Amino acid sequence: MNTVLAQRELPSAQLIQLVRGDLTAENTGAIVNAANAELAHGAGVAGAITWRGGPAIQRESSAWVREHGPVPHDRPAWTSGGLLPARYDIHAVGPVWGSGDEDAKLAAAVRGSLRVADELGLASISFPAISTGVFGFPKERAGMVMLGAIRDYFASSVSILHVVRVVLFDEATIEAFTVAWAQWT
């Protein structure tokens, strides 16, 4: 069972939550997959999503790439949630640490995911700690960038989203994002 660790309401009325748990168990309008540009879902968050969500997610992802090409940081792809509780899976491409301009790329992936959720007419979305696994982005820094991008998106956009959850699985990531949360203004 997923547990809310912290939450705050933004001036624009969105509820932002830091959650300990399993992203694939989230019953939000969409979950965000930490994807690569080719949407080849093999390991990490992507692997867990396709394992639990079923083969439809990979089939739809492959079709997306055939039609649209590789997914850029600022314009995530989306598929159904397959067998997941979430209706949609938004595939956000975060940066590989050391590729250059990582903070801007991660912020673009977060803002792009929020924009796609708005375009899909969703009220809620759940994020993982994008790029902090095999892509090597430092966890606390990722927390600061992601939380800042969420705040900035709602400060500058009219949105129908009401709940944004950042779902964290392991203790090191929870600790890092908790530090980022405490510094978030």
Domain count, the chain: 1
The CATH number for 110's domain is 3.40.220.10
Average pLDDT over residues 7-24: 95
Phi, then psi, of 107 in degrees rounded to 5 = -60, -40
3-state DSSP call for residue 42?
A: coil
| Residue 176: domain span | 3-183
Residue-level pLDDT at 43: 82
pLDDT in tens, 95-108: 999 999 999 999 99
Residue-level pLDDT at 157: 85
**Mean of pLDDT over the chain:** 95
Q: Which residues are CB-neighbours of 75 under 8 A, at least 6 positions away?
A: 112
**Integer Cα distance of 113 and 39 in angstroms:** 15
Residue-level pLDDT at 7: 96
**Quick one: pLDDT band at residue 185, thresholds 50, 70, 90?**
low
pLDDT in tens, 110-139: 999 999 999 999 999 999 999 999 899 999
Burial 24-61 (b: 16+ CB within 10 A, else e): bebebbbbbbbbbeebebeebbbebbbebbeeebbebb
pLDDT in tens, 61-86: 999 999 999 999 999 999 999 999 99
Residue-level pLDDT at 173: 97
**Integer Cα distance of 117 and 21 in angstroms:** 21
